[in-house]
Amino acid sequence: MSIRVTRSSMPKLEDYVEEIKPIFKSHHLTNMGPVYKKFQHQLKEYLQVPELSLFVNGHIALEMAIQALGLCIPGGEVITTSFTFVSTTHAIVRSNLKPVFCDIRESDFTIDPDKIEALITDKTVAIIPVHVYGNICDVEKINAIAKKYSLKVIYDAAHAFGVTYKGIGIGNYGDASMFSFHATKVFNTIEGGAIAFQDNKYSVPLHELKNFGIHGPEDVESIGGNAKLDEFRAAMGICNLRRIDECINARKRVYNRYIERLSGKKGLRLCKPQKNVLANYAYFPICIYQDDFGKSRDLVFNQLADREIHARKYFYPAINELHCYKERYGNQLTPHAHDISLRVLTLPMYEELDLEDVDRICDIVLE
């Protein structure tokens, strides 16, 4: 049987049916109904954040956070990373802002905080870093820079669901953090997302943005769109949240086996656990250095694919090398992101992955 890079976590069918029964009674399908409210409450507790707004997906949540924080200033620049999923950059560009790509640290693939200041100009409005693979950014340094220059910080925390730093939910850093609940993520609502934020003055703007700007029954205050999470997805969220610790533990078991089998191999670099971080084991990236390893990243990828094991070159190409961006933004300032994008491979990682399959994958990588 073929193995994909990921497989969505799902609750038992009976549990989901139980959770949606009230919806069939009430006919209240969407528009921030009781299931939405229950889910929001539970999630806020789980993520340990003061404020939380739910959305139909992570991408639109990020766009709306950029808008709600008042960052859509003509000519504005946003310092971000080119080593991410396209969504991060698209959200900036679709907000008519200019992404300014900062290089990453080789160690954990997150934005290099020591290279941010040199990129700040009088047009800079914000920093949008990414907790890549669930590895957290240097939130303390980034916070200090943002304070010094009065910049807003929105974290793309799409990979970082459930991660804590020094015992505090990762969604507490910066002005806001975007979580994605897409089917492929550690935690899913099929499609879905959220903005966690610190200052409750953003509650109303975020709420109005996702609901047509509607303020009251006869009052439309602003020009919002539609990005509401419906009751069925909220119900999926409630079911999956019940199982999240179990799910992360199952991933940890896979992670440990990969570490056991692949660490210390010449030419193969794995991520080191981060200090003071409770991880979520969202992905298992390896970096392949052909001269020492004897095989290229692409060869390993193909050898796995030949056995119907589908790893992923995630992220390749780097964002500033994608068709839609390479003419507009150079990649001269992001050599590490470029280099890593050519070496990185994320291996299959999901809750139900058998350890025998992990062994089989490792055998092929190492053969």
* Antiparallel, parallel or unpaired: β 284-288 and 344-347: antiparallel
193 binds ligand PLP (CB under 6 A): yes
Candidates 6, 88, 189, 341: give the one binding ligand PLP (CB under 6 A). Answer: 88
* H/E run at residue 153: strand 152-156
Candidates 87, 164, 177, 346: give the one binding ligand PLP (CB under 6 A). Answer: 87
Single out the segment in contact with ligand PLP by CB under 6 A; choices: 8-16, 65-73, 156-164, 251-259. Answer: 156-164
Task: Give the shortest CB-191-to-ligand PLP separation in angstroms.
Answer: 6
Task: Give the shortest CB-82-to-ligand PLP separation in angstroms.
Answer: 12
Closest CA to 136 of 155, 115, 114, 152: 155
Touching ligand PLP, residues 5-64 (CB under 6 A): 57-59
Touching ligand PLP, residues 245-264 (CB under 6 A): none
Q: Which long-range contacts (CB under 8 A, 24 or more apart) does 99-105 make?
A: 99/319, 99/329, 100/124, 101/319, 101/320, 101/329, 101/331, 101/333, 101/334, 101/337, 102/333, 102/334, 103/333, 103/334, 103/335, 103/336, 103/337, 104/132, 104/334, 104/336, 104/337, 104/340, 105/336
For residue 75, the Cα-to-chain-centroid distance in whole angstroms is 27
180 binds ligand PLP (CB under 6 A): yes
171 vs 262 by CB, closer to ligand PLP: 171
Distance CA 112, CA 102 (A): 7
Task: Give the shortest CB-132-to-ligand PLP separation in angstroms.
Answer: 7
84 binds ligand PLP (CB under 6 A): yes
Tell me the DSSP string of 235-270. HHHHHHHHTHHHHHHHHHHHHHHHHHHHTT-TTEEE
84 vs 240 by CB, closer to ligand PLP: 84
40 vs 262 by CB, closer to ligand PLP: 40
Candidates 35, 69, 79, 130: give the one binding ligand PLP (CB under 6 A). Answer: 130
Candidates 39, 83, 85, 109: give the one binding ligand PLP (CB under 6 A). Answer: 85
Contact residues: ligand PLP, CB under 6 A: 57-59, 84-85, 87-88, 130, 156, 158-159, 180, 182, 193
